[in-house]
Amino acid sequence: MTEDFRKLFGSSEGVRVYRAPGRVNLIGEHTDYNLGFVLPVALNLATYIATAPSGDGMLRIYSEDRREMRQWPVTGIASLGRARHWTDYPVGVAQQLIGAGFAIEPANLLIRSRVPEGSGLSSSAALEVSSALAFLNGRALPPLELARLCQRAEVQFVGMPCGIMDQYISIFGRERTAVEIDCRSLEHRDVQLPAGVTFLAVNTMVKHALARSAYQERVQECLAAVIRIRAQFPLVESLRDVPPDQFRSLERLLPGVILRRARHVVTETARVGQFVAASEQGALDGMGALMVESHRSLQHDYEVSCAELDFLVDRALEIEGVFGSRMTGGGFGGSTVTMLRPDAVPHFRRQISEAYEGKFGVVPAIYPCEPSAGAGEVKDF
Ligand code: ADP
Ligand code: MG
């Protein structure tokens, strides 16, 4: 990257490189903004940013993937508005840093990402977190504050009312373990995954236009459910507070669509705990069954799946050696995650690729989900 940085900006003196990974969520989908539990894994697919002082008062950002350069005088960063452009992610982060008392120094940034965009593997959080580290360029910020600041950039500046999962796991990811995050207390614990299984993400290669508006609609629907429940049970502040065995008694409070949305969140939050317990007992079939339950709930109750995701899940479940499969990420395209025996990987790859291409005319990209370390500076690049 140093060489490419030098070609692009004329000098690579003082260059430093920061990395922030994408993620795959094993279970707990659309629960983070309801303050429930999630169980993601940081991937070895990551976004890298090389940065060095520019010395001329300018902030320049180049995305290799977009082949596009943008620049601003650093003195103007604080007053930029949303541009509905990819630079909204780094600019939103820069503004949050300014708000937190960190000056944005004149600098050049080269972005190189291995997290496929719009794949449900969270290229957006990888971009936010790597940008934040590049802007800080060695200045310290506690990791939880970093995660919250990047989330605020996406919510307030980009306009996507996301939960904290993606930014959190990009920062707190660990090698060889999944991370169970309590999205209310913002505490986490490492969860050992059993031996004898592996996880693969399969990318539908589509992202339907509906994705963003439907996400915003789901956030609103969950809020509507909470308002109705709280009118009778004032202690319920989010759907996280509704235990699944009490949900039946609340059903009469909720109109049809809202009822199904809430039922997904309540049951999905419970499934995270069940999945963690199954994982710690090495109950592989139980884990797989929970993944499939999660997918069916997202498909029928939450209605955020699509034909491509459903096809990949249904087809995966027919392949020898597969324990379970589900959509991962926000939905309406993006990827599935499948749990399978390691020896089944070669024929799984072949069969799922052939089937998907036969049906949709596109070869799906497939990524191993090797739990990797969270964001930081890359010392030997
Ligand atoms: P996901 O996070 O699932 O990949 P999002 O829609 O949340 O999907 O984020 C994708 C957006 O993030 C892209 O449309 C683009 O604006 C931005 N982005 C991600 N990676 C890059 C990159 N390498 N260069 C420029 N923009 C990027
Ligand atoms: Mg995203």
pLDDT in tens, 123-148: 999 999 999 999 999 999 999 999 99
State the Cα–Cα distance between residues 80 and 68, nearest whole angstrom.
Answer: 18
Kindly state whether residues 173 and 149 are assigned to the same domain.
yes
Are the C-beta atoms of 263 and 249 separated by less than 8 Å? no
Summary mean pLDDT of the chain: 97
Number of domains in the chain: 2
State the Cα–Cα distance between residues 74 and 57, nearest whole angstrom.
Answer: 6
Are the C-beta atoms of 27 and 338 separated by less than 8 Å? no
Q: 343: domain CATH number?
A: 3.30.70.890
Residue 93 corresponds to which tokens in the numbers above? 């982060």
pLDDT of residue 23: 98
Residues 6 or more apart in contact with residue 333 via CB below 8 angstroms: 118, 120, 204, 206, 207, 208, 211, 306, 308, 309
Q: Residues in the chain, how many? A: 381
CA distances for 195 relative to 114, 189, 340, 368, angstroms: 27, 19, 11, 15
CA distances for 94 relative to 74, 88, 101, 222, 292, angstroms: 10, 10, 11, 30, 40
Residue 166 designated active-site: yes
The ligand whose atoms approach the alpha carbon of 333 most closely is 1
pLDDT of residue 381: 74
Are the C-beta atoms of 159 and 152 separated by less than 8 Å? no
Kindly state whether residues 308 and 178 are assigned to the same domain.
no
Half-sphere exposure of residue 116, counting CA atoms within 13 Å on the CB side?
17
Are the C-beta atoms of 206 and 118 separated by less than 8 Å? no
Question: Which mean pLDDT values do the consecutive 10-residue runs of the chain (381 residues) have?
Answer: 96 97 98 98 98 97 98 98 98 98 98 96 98 98 98 97 97 97 98 96 94 94 97 95 93 95 98 98 98 98 98 98 98 98 98 98 98 96 74
Kindly state whether residues 164 and 221 are assigned to the same domain.
no
Give residue 241 CA to ligand 1 midpoint distance, Å: 32
Q: Which domain holds residue 92?
A: 2-192+373-378
Kindly state whether residues 292 and 222 are assigned to the same domain.
yes
Q: What are phi and psi of 169, to 5 degrees?
A: -75, -30
- Which ligand 1 atom is nearest residue 330's CA? 3
Kindly state whether residues 152 and 246 are assigned to the same domain.
no
pLDDT of residue 271: 98
State the Cα–Cα distance between residues 367 and 36, nearest whole angstrom.
Answer: 27
Model pLDDT for residues 156-193, shown as the tens digit of each residue: 999 999 999 999 999 999 999 999 999 999 999 999 99
State the Cα–Cα distance between residues 267 and 246, nearest whole angstrom.
Answer: 11
Residue 100 corresponds to which tokens in the numbers above? 């937190």
Q: Specify the residue for token string 């139980």.
A: 286
Torsion angle (degrees, nearest 10) of CA 159, 162, 166, 172: 110
State the Cα–Cα distance between residues 139 and 93, nearest whole angstrom.
Answer: 15
Kindly state whether residues 325 and 222 are assigned to the same domain.
yes
Give residue 10 CA to ligand 2 midpoint distance, Å: 32
- H/E stretch holding 134 reads helix 123-136
Which 3-state string (H, E, C) describes 272-283?
HHHHHHHHHHCC
Give residue 137 CA to ligand 2 midpoint distance, Å: 23
* 163, burial (CB in 10 Å: exposed 0-12, middle 13-18, buried 19+): buried
pLDDT of residue 209: 87
Kindly state whether residues 9 and 116 are assigned to the same domain.
yes
pTM: 0.97
Kindly state whether residues 116 and 57 are assigned to the same domain.
yes
Kindly state whether residues 173 and 63 are assigned to the same domain.
yes
Pocket lining for ligand 1, CB < 6 angstroms: 63, 65-66, 86, 89, 111, 113, 117-120, 122-124, 127, 329, 334
- Which ligand 1 atom is nearest residue 122's CA? 2
Kindly state whether residues 269 and 333 are assigned to the same domain.
yes
State the Cα–Cα distance between residues 135 and 60, nearest whole angstrom.
Answer: 11
State the Cα–Cα distance between residues 354 and 348, nearest whole angstrom.
Answer: 10
pLDDT of residue 51: 98
Residue (of 73, 65, 84, 87) closest to 131 by Cα position: 87
- Of 166, 245, 301, 310, which one is the catalytic site residue? 166
Q: 97: domain CATH number?
A: 3.30.230.10
Kindly state whether residues 245 and 106 are assigned to the same domain.
no
Residue ID of nearest Cα to ligand 1 atom 20: 123
State the Cα–Cα distance between residues 202 and 72, nearest whole angstrom.
Answer: 38
Residue ID of nearest Cα to ligand 1 atom 24: 63
State the Cα–Cα distance between residues 93 and 253, nearest whole angstrom.
Answer: 40
Give residue 244 CA to ligand 1 midpoint distance, Å: 35
Kindly state whether residues 175 and 233 are assigned to the same domain.
no
Model pLDDT for residues 303-344, shown as the tens digit of each residue: 999 999 999 999 999 999 999 999 999 999 999 999 999 999
pLDDT of residue 299: 98
- The H helix count followed by the E strand count for the chain is 11, 13
